[in-house]
Amino acid sequence: MVEKSIEEINRRIKEGDVNVVTAEEMVGIVGELGAKEAAKEVDVVTTGTFGAMCSSGVWLNFGHPEPPMKMNKVFLNGVEAYSGVAAVDAFIGAGQLSETEGFDYGGAHVIEDLIRGKSIDLHATSYGTDCYPRKTLDTTLNIYDLNQAIMINPRNGYQKYNVATNGMNRTIYTYMGSLLPNYGNVTYSGAGVLSPLSNDPDYQTIGVGTPIFLGGTKGHIIGEGTQHSPETNFGTLMLRGDLKDMSADYIRAANFHEYGTSLYVGMGIPIPILNEQLAQSTAVTDKDVVTNVLDYGVPSRDRPVLRKVNYEELRSGSIEINGKDTPTSSMSSFKKSREIAEELKTWVTAGEFFVNSPSQRLPAKATCKPMRQTTRNPLVQDIMARDVVVIDENATFHEAAKMIMENTFSHLPVVSEDGKLAGIVTAWDISKAVAETGCNYVKDIMTKKVLTSNATDPIDIAARNLDMKEVSAMPVIDDDRYVIGIISSNDISKLFARRR
Amino acid sequence: MMIKINISSNVIGEPILAESMIETRTALNISQAHFDSTYGEIIAEVESGDFKAIREALESKGAKVTVLDHPIVRDEEECVECGACISVCPGHVFSFDDDWGIAQDIEKCIQCGTCIKMCPHHALSLEK
């Protein structure tokens, strides 16, 4: 049994004879020497990751203005910061979007601009009190003007992440990037072999108070992150670091098209090799880190798992989805992750960075629960019109016109001889038929590619589909494509009007 | 060379692409095509020697031909070399090099702009 103490390792760091390797290098060392010899040889293994971590932000203290003010609403370059605490503290979150620039600029950009020393416009309003009489404030300041700018990230460093693909027939834009239709591509995130938590999955050394690399400077682990789920190997961390010492090389604002903003965070953790077990766990490879490929085309919390995949396969450039070779994109930077592990290695080797024992272990038994919902989500079947009239595809457009006039619907689902949905006609299609020659039958003028809905779809999904495709109604069909109702944007508007 | 062919709504129903190819005996290697009721846009590769003839043929039939000579530009300061662009590019312009940095083969760019939307760091743009 090899046993080393933190004190022993720190003494070697101090004396300059510590042996530090990156988690990538450790794979080969354990492969060659075995865990026992590797544990004797190696003192510290460094890890690193650089990817989108939306649950990130910074606590800012602006100093008190004259006359003083209890800031009630705070905007930094038009991005709202949370100020429901004492007078001049505010939390700027990476994902908050600008009130004026929308998707193009958000909290993440404010954070990057602060790091770069740029001037930020601060606008604040309040209601005024005896102790804080001021009601509005406008000023311009930069990071050096602030008392504190402390990064506190509630959820960073996911042990691994779900892999995204899209089974829908259109491109979808997600926080995992653009996902091409019909499983056209695959996106993934995470550093695999270098992933901090995958290198110490039992939380032997990573815990409360562990010193880390964060954004180019030294930071600390505060505790487990939100949604920490070690039992499913989706552990997370809550981190702290001083933004004033950070570098834009390792903290970068990001925009995901039609999703919003996020922050790329560079983070690395040194793992002291106290025993053989740690030597073994830091020898984890890309192949050992296994995750799930999910269909993000399914707009549900419970997205279907298409297959299991490991990071070696993901990093090969393509993986097989439904028998087809599908290209992969990494959303996190392996090159940067490597740079971080190397940088941390340099710090420890140079005697500038020491390791310690956690002041408290992180929970190794926990899972992430879904939300308890006390109001029932309305479904399409709750509000769809059931007395829907359909027309045969072989009817003439005159008959269709008559039917639309006699009924209240402006959309007429068209059925084929077997009674199944074949298309849809609207009053507009009929006008077109009148204007053009050669179109006498409904089947000639109907739209064949019909957007449909299922009775058990949540209303929010139906509403988004109507919105995206810019149509005003959809036939509701059963599994055999028989029309059982129709749902219109009008029905949905009425429902939401009632709710308010 | 890469060219873009725009077809306006008044000639959208005509087979002008096929007619032009047959007339000039020129092979257009079409990499992207978009058609709807209002316009058509085709991205294609053509041998430089054939370009003049096919342009004349297409333009005589009402199409507009533009040479695409400004491929995608990557801002190396903004780029973090994540590789998000790799899987969405229809031309396979981007790949990882041996050190997990981004390698690019600009010759293959068809200037579709798909990678611009994908890039989380606004590092990609089409030169004007």
pLDDT band (50, 70, 90) for residue A223: very high
Domain termination site, one of B23, B44, B67: B67
Whether the per-residue pLDDT at A237 is higher than 70: the answer is yes
Average pLDDT over residues A53-58: 97
Do B11 and B55 fall into the same domain?
A: yes
| Closest-CA residue of chain B to A172 | B118
CA–CA dist A336, A339 (Å, integer): 5
Contact at CB, B86 and A327, closer than 8 angstroms: yes
Encode pLDDT of A101-110 as tens digits: 989 999 999 9
Q: What's the gap between Cα A307 and its chain centre?
A: 20
> In this structure, what CATH number is given to the domain that contains residue B8?
3.30.70.240
Q: How many percent of chain B have pLDDT more than 70?
A: 98
Encode pLDDT of A181-220 as tens digits: 999 999 999 999 999 999 999 999 999 999 999 999 999 9
Which residues on chain A are in Cβ contact (under 8 Å) with B97? none
Encode pLDDT of A480-498 as tens digits: 999 999 998 888 888 777 6
Contact at CB, A178 and B99, closer than 8 angstroms: no
Do B54 and B110 fall into the same domain?
A: no
Q: Which of B100, B118, B120 sits opposite A335 (nearest CB)?
A: B100
Do B52 and B101 fall into the same domain?
A: no
What pLDDT, on the 0 to 100 scale, is given for residue A471? 87
Do B38 and B88 fall into the same domain?
A: no
What pLDDT, on the 0 to 100 scale, is given for residue A59? 98
Residue span of the structural domain in which B109 resides: 72-126
Chain A closest-CA separation from residue B45 CA (Å): 23
Whether the per-residue pLDDT at A448 is higher than 60: the answer is yes
What pLDDT, on the 0 to 100 scale, is given for residue B25? 92
Q: A456 burial class (0-12, 13-18, 19+ CB within 10 angstroms)?
A: exposed
What pLDDT, on the 0 to 100 scale, is given for residue A197? 96
The amino acid at residue B27 is A
Please tell me what DSSP assigns to residue A409.
-
Average pLDDT over residues A18-23: 98
- Domain ranges across chain A: 6-53+152-361, 63-146, 380-499
Our CA dihedral for A242, A247, A249, A252, rounded to 10 degrees, sits at 60
Q: Which of A51, A257, A338 sits opposite B100 (nearest CB)?
A: A338
**Mean of pLDDT over chain A:** 94
Average pLDDT over residues A459-470: 87
More confident residue, A448 or A500: A448
Q: In which element (H, E) is residue B69 found?
A: none
Encode pLDDT of A286-337 as tens digits: 999 999 999 999 988 899 999 999 999 999 999 999 999 999 999 999 999 9
What pLDDT, on the 0 to 100 scale, is given for residue A215? 98
Which residues on chain B are in Cβ contact (under 8 Å) with A262? 120
Q: How many percent of chain A have pLDDT more than 70?
A: 99
| Closest-CA residue of chain A to B116 | A257
Average pLDDT over residues A28-50: 97
Q: In B10-126, which residue ranges form alpha helices assigned H by DSSP? A: 16-24, 48-60, 114-118
Which positions of A are annotated as active-site residues?
131
Q: In which element (H, E) is residue B35 found?
A: strand B29-35
Chain A closest-CA separation from residue B83 CA (Å): 5
Residue to test with chain A: of B75, B77, B87, B94, most A Cβ within 10 A: B87
Domain termination site, one of B67, B83, B117: B67
Do B90 and B118 fall into the same domain?
A: yes
Domain termination site, one of B67, B94, B114: B67
Do B11 and B62 fall into the same domain?
A: yes
CA–CA dist B112, B105 (Å, integer): 15
**Torsions phi, psi of A495, nearest 5?**
-60, -45
What residues contact A330, with CB distance under 8 A and at least 6 apart? Answer: A187, A188, A189, A314, A315, B82, B83, B84, B86
Do B29 and B43 fall into the same domain?
A: yes
pLDDT band (50, 70, 90) for residue A399: confident
What pLDDT, on the 0 to 100 scale, is given for residue A499? 61
| Cα→Cα distances B104→A169, A384, B72, B96, B101, Å | 29, 51, 10, 8, 10
Do B8 and B50 fall into the same domain?
A: yes
More confident residue, A385 or A145: A145
Do B63 and B6 fall into the same domain?
A: yes
Whether the per-residue pLDDT at A377 is higher than 90: the answer is no
Query: Cβ of A26: how many Cβ atoms within 10 Å?
Result: 26
Contact at CB, A335 and B99, closer than 8 angstroms: yes
**Mean of pLDDT over chain B:** 90
Q: What's the gap between Cα B39 and its chain centre?
A: 16
Residue whose pair of structure tokens reads 């958000």 in the numeric block: A106
Q: Which of B80, B88, B114 sits opposite A333 (nearest CB)?
A: B80
What residues contact A281, with CB distance under 8 A and at least 6 apart? Answer: A199, A200, A201, A202, A204
Whether the per-residue pLDDT at B128 is higher than 60: the answer is no
pLDDT band (50, 70, 90) for residue A406: confident
More confident residue, A106 or A438: A106
Our CA dihedral for A47, A109, A55, A262, rounded to 10 degrees, sits at -80
Average pLDDT over residues B33-37: 80
pLDDT band (50, 70, 90) for residue A500: low
What pLDDT, on the 0 to 100 scale, is given for residue A491? 82
Whether the per-residue pLDDT at A427 is higher than 90: the answer is no
CATH number of this structure's domain A380-499: 3.10.580.10
Considering its fold, how many domains does chain B have in total?
A: 2
What pLDDT, on the 0 to 100 scale, is given for residue B37? 73
Do B63 and B96 fall into the same domain?
A: no
Q: Which of A317, A329, A335 sits opposite B88 (nearest CB)?
A: A329
Do B10 and B44 fall into the same domain?
A: yes
> Which of A257-271, A316-330, B32-46 is predicted least confidently?
B32-46
Do B108 and B78 fall into the same domain?
A: yes
Q: Using an 8 Å Cβ cutoff, are B105 and B123 in contact?
A: no
